[in-house]
Amino acid sequence: MEKQRELITGKAKTVYATDDPDKLIILFRNDTSAFDGEKLEQLDRKGMVNNRFNAFIMQKLEQAGIPTHFEKLLADDEVLVKNLDMIPVECVIRNIASGSIVRRLGVEDGIELNPPTFEFFLKNDALHDPMINDYHIYSFKWATEQEVADMKELTFKVNQVLTKLFADAGLLLVDYKLEFGRYKGKVVLGDEFSPDGCRLWDAKTREKLDKDRFRQGLGGVVEAYEEVASRLGVDLN
């Protein structure tokens, strides 16, 4: 598979065309950003860790019947994926209240949400990814009713698979963000699942093992990601 021109340079990843129009190569960089790109740092090994972490999770999800863009690992920091027509919304499930919901709704950090809650955000850094609802998505034609239904169903299915996977590794999956796209008429999970886009706490101590370590300047960011990877059995070598 030949890497061709650069299509997208995002905050953490670079997307390249390939000689196959249905396939893209995603390069996971060491760039780490928070607050819509306001805080930016290079963290050694992060690209490699997230690439391998994401590959591990995407394969687990595929095995559970969730369609994903994952094709195969190409290098330490590169993955071959399906070329999706991305839907510009982020799907978030929260099992425990933390982060923006605490500020927005004035609820206590760390309370369990049963049932878990679901939120849509518009993927737009300039607007700080505002929260939107289903009707915004229909009215502005970001996705169809069927696609919205599919994204919700798949995001909840991911929750079933991953809360169990992380619980078995002594971790609480607090919340996570997913991005979907269209591929040959189907809604498919794209982008990445890594500690950059979710909250993971140690089940006993509630120690943060995700990007909040970077946001809050706690240090040991990549070390925490590696700890999670090793508990799950992700091969980092």
First and final C-alpha spacing in the chain: 23
Piece in contact with ligand ADP (CB under 6 A), picked from 78-86, 111-119, 201-209, 212-220: 78-86
CB of 41 to ligand ADP, least distance (A): 14
15 touches ligand ADP by CB under 6 A? yes
Q: Which of 1, 3, 11, 34 binds ligand ADP (CB under 6 A)?
A: 11
Position among 69, 94, 211, 213 found at the interface with ligand ADP (CB under 6 A): 69
CA gap 178, 61 in Å, rounded = 13
* 79 Cβ contact partners less than 8 Å away, ≥ 6 residues apart: 25, 26, 28, 51, 54, 55, 70, 71, 72, 73
Q: Does 47 bind ligand ADP (CB under 6 A)?
A: no
Whether 1 contacts 19, CB under 8 Å: yes
Does position 195 interact with ligand ADP (CB under 6 A)? The reply is no
Among 32, 51, 83, 95, binds ligand ADP (CB under 6 A): 83
- Which residue has the closest beta carbon to ligand ADP? 10
Out of 49, 80, 81, 171, the residue judged to bind ligand ADP by CB under 6 A: 81
Question: Hunting for tokens 């340079």 — which residue is that?
Answer: 9
Choose which of 27, 58, 79, 84 interacts with ligand ADP (CB under 6 A).
84
Tokens standing for 181?
Answer: 């796209």
Q: Are 143 and 66 in contact (CB under 8 A)?
A: no
Out of 55, 190, 211, 221, the only residue in the binding site for ligand ADP (CB under 6 A) is 190
What residues between 17 and 46 interact with ligand ADP by CB under 6 A? 24
Residue 132 in contact with residue 140, Cβ under 8 Å?
no
The sign of the dihedral angle between the CA atoms of 162, 175, 14, 132 is positive
Our finding on whether 191 is near ligand ADP (CB under 6 A) is yes
Q: d(Cα 175, Cα 88) in Å, to the nearest integer? A: 19
Determine the residue type at 200: L
Q: Which of 47, 51, 57, 82 binds ligand ADP (CB under 6 A)?
A: 82
C-alpha distances in Å from residue 99, one per residue of 32, 104, 107, 192, 208: 18, 9, 10, 20, 12
Measured from the CB atom, the residue of 10 and 220 that comes closer to ligand ADP is: 10
* Among the residue ranges 11-19, 42-50, 130-138, 217-225, the one whose residues contact ligand ADP (CB under 6 A): 11-19
Interface positions with ligand ADP (CB under 6 A) = 8, 10-13, 15, 24, 69, 81-84, 86, 179, 181, 190-191
